[in-house]
Amino acid sequence: MKFTDGFWHNRPGVDAQYAAEAYDVTAHHSPDGDELVVHAPTKVITGRGDTLNRALLTVTLSSPLEGVVRVRVEHHKGALDRHGFDLVGAQTGHGRAEVDDDGGVLDAGPLQARIRRGAPWDLSFTDAERVLTRSGHKSVGYVRLAEGAPVPAEPTGVAGVTTTGLAPASTYVHTQLSLDVGELVYGLGERFGPFVKNGQTVDVWNADGGTSSELAYKNVPFYLTNRGYGVLVNHPEHVSFEVGSEAVEQVQFSVPGEHLEYLVIYGPTPAEVLERYTRLTGRPAQVPAWSYGLWLSTSFTTDYDEATVNHFIDGMTQREIPLSVFHFDCFWMREFDWTSFEWDARTFPDPEGMLARLHERGLRTSAWVNPYIAQRTRTFDEAAAAGYLVKRPDGSIWQWDMWQAGMGLVDFTNPAATAWFQEKIRTLLRQGIDAIKTDFGERIPVDVVWHDGSDPYLMHNWYTQLYNEAVFSVIEEERGHGQAVLFARSATTGGQRMPVHWGGDNSSSFPSMAESLRGGLSMSMSGFGFWSHDIGGFEGSPDPAVFKRWVAFGLLSSHSRLHGSQSYRVPWLFDTGEEEPDQSAVEVTRRFARLKAELMPYLYEAGRAAHERGLPVMRPMQLAFPGDPACDHLDRQYLLGPDLLVAPVFSAEGDVEYYLPAGRWTNLLTGEVADGATWRREVHDFSSVPLWVREGAVLVTTPGATDTERDYTADALVTVYLGEEDREVRVTNPLDGTEVRFAVVHGEDGVSVTATPATAFRARLAGGEPVPASDGTVRLEVAR
């Protein structure tokens, strides 16, 4: 949101007042943590008369966690205070405030906030060596808009809900934080445009806009930079970012109302920023091993019944393609009936029996829901009578005909409505469904009244959190911790606690494949550990080349789903019979599905790192190699876990260009060894993709595996990619949680690999033959 007209002037109708000086600075001491309170008038005070008829901003600094500084800017304290995000990791006792003649310091461990007394306004955030970012002259503003001022104050639409005449807010608070030379900004949720956000205006306002626009399903008012810190704007409502756009040396963020709160989060590395951020806002739940396998969907508007489902599953079995989950999309319910939670008896007369039969075949099952209740259903009448649907200001139920005729919206601010919705989910789970696809949650109107009196503008983005929490918690109750899985489309800050999220409605093309990856990488920089996407694209029907290239990408993602809109996504439908045998869609799908199964000991540990440390399974190159400037803008490749570099192929011909960082790399598929710090241009057939293992990696796999849910500690193959340092890796048995740790120690004549506790395994040097363990140890000779 832009308030200025160039460097010197405001836009017409904008009255902006800025913190002109730190007039006084006071330290408030408490066992719960100190505060530094600064009073900042909007004019430099030179005499008593200057204190009259003047806005005074109160800026309070505190620390909810080591390495984190919270800044709260207030104009009128008595204004209605919208709540912030659930900072589930916040603690007391952090922050030490000191005041001297120069100003004040809030010490939050490795991060300090320093306010300079007097004019001009100068608040800096430093570590032991340098200034990370600064709030300087004219950076803290209180803005009033004249009626009819031509300022884009709120998004013009409410995620698909037309809001003709939506009035802008009349007051805003904004802050600017400086950008250094070469400083780059990442994050702000799942955004499908440029991975680096510099130069962009980003409105944090959930919208159902597909993957080909500036709108986003998952808006997160958190960014991090390549200078060692991140910033969370602690407002679930609309937040507008100007990222080096309105003021090219600044990141500006503004919110409507009378106060603004943000938190500066120290690193110094991007990975450490994410660790602190997810410690504060919550880390992803651990997901079950079976969820990493291939998911196959009915697709959306296709015709299907139990015979269709069995035909697809039989086809996968006959073609020896590993399959973990079968998903039932919207039309498991009757048309006009979403969400009734009742199976369409015309196509699924025996849902419990069908789901039991699928379980007998070793499959898990997933079903689609959304928070909208169609008028045609008995469920609507039940919810309406009980007062469980969101209402308009006149007391009538909010309804519209977009999506489902006459649909209402479940009011999750009403505990009784939440419990009612959860019981519907519980019934579905007890019928035999294992995972829930929580679709939608973005089209949330603002011309409504909520049960608990919440501000409608806050609830627009916050709704998805309440919706997904309601569903995720009941799955955990029914299935247990570590066994709950969502397939969610919408999210905001904190949504990462309830995985998995997928990228929404993409198209069946290479550009859409690339934009999907950009969205996933942006999500990874926003604290989300698990991410998926519709293999082949949702809209349209992919040609065989798009499908096969996307299959390789999809099965080298954290989670993998075949899903479309108007056409099925079983691989044999993309074969003409004229392909070379190893280039068919069936063979490509089989190859990469089996590869993922073999990699599960490694991938499961990457998922545990997401759960324990907040590190995403799919890691942007800048996150993994922050000291390499060549990685700063890369958005067509990533690390899968800590050691595997993936560069998806975005062309039918197989042309691909990618970057290998410094070090020695080994191609997992071919065994080729190459030195990094270089760009590579290659041509790959459909059975191949650039997939490299970094120097020093210890990769644990189970060759020949075809399923994802098994004991990974049994028959493990440990492959050592020689490096300079000793290393230990963990492997977990997902069936009972037991662990084995493999320690790799370098010696003068080779390396030893030792399992603790001792277990049967094989080990090898990359490219060498496996050697079975003796008494829990393998010694591998290194040729000199």
**In this structure, is the dihedral angle defined by the CA atoms of residues 544, 545, 550 and 555, taken in order, positive or negative?**
positive
CA angle 712, 503, 641 (to 5 degrees): 35
Locus of tokens 């191949």: 688
**172 in Cβ contact with 75 (< 8 Å):** no
Neighbours of 152 (CB within 10 A): 12
- Taking phi over 0 as left and psi of -120 to 50 as alpha, with beta for the rest, 395 belongs to left
**178 in Cβ contact with 136 (< 8 Å):** yes
CA distance 739 to 734: 9
Helices (H), 562-599: 585-598
Amino acid at 607: G
**In this structure, is the dihedral angle defined by the CA atoms of residues 139, 140, 144 and 149, taken in order, positive or negative?**
positive
Residues 6+ apart with CB under 8 A from 41: 19, 20, 21, 23, 50, 51, 54, 55, 56, 57
**Closest to 606 in 3D by CA, of 646, 558, 560:** 558
Q: Tell how strand 200-204 and strand 185-189 pair up.
A: unpaired
Whole-Å CA distances, 638 to 137, 626, 632, 646, 660: 39, 13, 12, 6, 11
Residues 6+ apart with CB under 8 A from 360: none
Residue 457 is given by DSSP the state H
Give the active site residues: 439, 442, 505
Kind plus residue range of the DSSP H or E element containing 4: strand 4-5
